[in-house]
Structures are given as structure tokens and as C-alpha cells.
Amino acid sequence: MKARSRPQMWLLSFYIIYQFSGCHSEDPGTMYLGFVFDATTASSIKAVTDAYLNSTLLIPTYRDFLQNISSTAGIDNVLNYYVKPLDPNTQAFDPEYHVTLKYCGDDQTTCEEYKKKNSQYISKVFELHLVGYVLTNRTFGIRVNLTEAQLPLFDNTKADEQPSRQFEILTTSATLDLPGIRFETLELPPSLPASNSRAHVTLGCGPGISAVTTGPDLLQAIEYEIDSDGSVTSVSFDNIRDPVDPQEQNMRVTQYIKEGTEDPVFVIYPSVKLIANATLLPYNNKQTNSAEVLTVFKLAPIVSIIAIAITLQM
């Protein structure tokens, strides 16, 4: 077979490098779109939610519940039972929290339709009201009370699954430095619409449980609150001070158990609601990062030699 010319050899070499590097790869797509709290605000939210978790442990019924499920899972410290989702791309600690509005996954077509339909809202800042906390043997989450203007943006038919990181042990401080958030009085019990909205922030999950479970757990809590068939038994605890209320009012913790089930659901309604700004943003699937590109081009000379050697054999 006739040998190829030098230009052809180099063209083939660069073509192989180009294919090998992944620089030609298509847009990996969007994993989800959601309201994203920046790292500063998220840190304040975590301080508040850790304070509520610590205060709820003052209730013997909840403390026994958490100790039992922690012991069953082989976890010594109950504060390490719930684990926080990691960044799905880097598998590292994610300093932000978010409210998933539209999960895309492999369905990039409807994702693009959602982005096109709501393009005027992307990168816009919204004020969100975080009004209650739900704790089960599976998840720990915050209920978000969306406004009438925000509800049309919520199109979450499937939640993202993410790996997790353990909570840190927290000693509740009497004074909390909470930049990025503020509080307003919350009526107890709050007058919330009995909707099927799963708008929430996932704070943590039990062992082997993914963030996708927080939505169904929230719906279950709403169902138990309504108790349309009278099959739910509830016990309220109103003697625990709200750890972040400057007026030092009490929060309300209610335990719900449905007839025929053994697993309770605990709902915390604080005396104040947490208000924070979040930005509607897409979270994109992993793309080749700079370190990976650098590694590829360190290998480029080797790939070139292989490509030339292959060419000379033709």
C-alpha cells in the first residue's frame, strides 16, 4: 500500500488527539434547574437547621426515635444519622443548598423546553420562605412555601439522586451570625395551602437513602396533617423554645403515626419563618475540566507517535 504523505500523517495524528481529548464532545446537558442559595446563605441555613435538630433532641420521644434508627444503622452519634448531599459532579462537599424546580436527567428535550419557557427568570433572584422541617427515618428536609408567582416554575416530576456527607456535630449557640437570611413571625400552626407541592430543601438523608426521597416524605407529612380518613394519631410538643427566635417563643413539634405503620413522621413548625434569597440557575452535568484537559495534552506526544507509527504501517 502506498505510504501517506507527511501532511496526511500529521492530519491523522491531530485527528486522533482531537478524538482522544474529548474537546469535540457535545454539551453534556443540564442535570436540573432550581433555586440556588449561595454558599454564605447556605451556611446560615445550615446553622439554623442544626440548631432546630439539636433543640428537637430535647424531646424524649424524638431523641429515642433518632437513637433507635441510628443504632439500627450502626451509627453511634445520632447527629451523624442524617447526611448532606454532595456535589454530584465532584463528589466533594457542596457548600450550597437548592430547591429543585425541574429535574432533567436524560430528558434534555423537555429540559430545553422548560428553559425556553422560563428564560426570563433564569439568573433572577427570588425571595423564598422556608416554613417547616420534616424529619423521618429516611430524610431531613425543609418545606418551602412558594408564592403564587413561583408555583408555575415548580415542575419537579423526578428528584436528583446524590451521594452524601455526614453532618457535623453542632453545639447550639445562643447568638447566631446568620448573613443572608432574616426571620418573620410564623403563625402556629401555619395557614398553608393543602397542596401537593414537593418544593423543599434536602438537608440530609439516612444511610442508603437518596435525596429523591425527601419529596415523598414531605407529601406524606402533608397527608398526615390533613388526616382525611382519621387514621393518623398525633402528639404535639409545645414546650421547646425556638432556638433562633429573638422573642424566645416556643416552636411546635408534632409526631404523626398512621394506623398500620410503625414509622413516625415529625414536623417542626418554628415560631419564625426563615426568609432568604435564591437564584434560579441550571446545574450542568460534568464537563471536562482544566486538569483533565491538561492531562490529555501531556499525553498528546505519545498519541502522536502512535498515530504516526500506525500511518507508516499503511
Tens of each residue's pLDDT in the chain, 314 residues: 555 555 555 555 555 554 444 444 455 688 889 999 999 999 999 999 999 999 999 999 999 999 999 999 999 999 999 988 777 777 777 788 999 999 888 888 988 999 999 999 999 999 999 999 999 999 999 999 888 889 899 985 544 333 333 333 333 333 456 899 999 888 755 555 545 467 899 999 999 898 889 989 998 998 898 888 899 999 999 899 999 988 889 999 999 999 998 899 999 999 999 999 999 999 886 643 333 434 433 444 554 555 555 545 55
DSSP state of 5: P
The runs of H, that is alpha helices, within the chain are 6-21, 39-56, 60-72, 108-117, 214-226, 290-298, 300-312
Q: Which helix (H) or strand (E) holds 202?
A: strand 200-205
How far is the C-alpha of 278 from the C-alpha of 129, rounded, in Å? 10
Domain map of the chain by residue range?
27-286
DSSP characters over 9-30: HHHHHHHHHHHHHTTTPPP--E
Identify the bridge partners of residue 240 per DSSP, sorted by sequence position.
Answer: 251
How far is the C-alpha of 253 from the C-alpha of 239, rounded, in Å? 9
CATH tag, 27-286: 3.90.1740.10
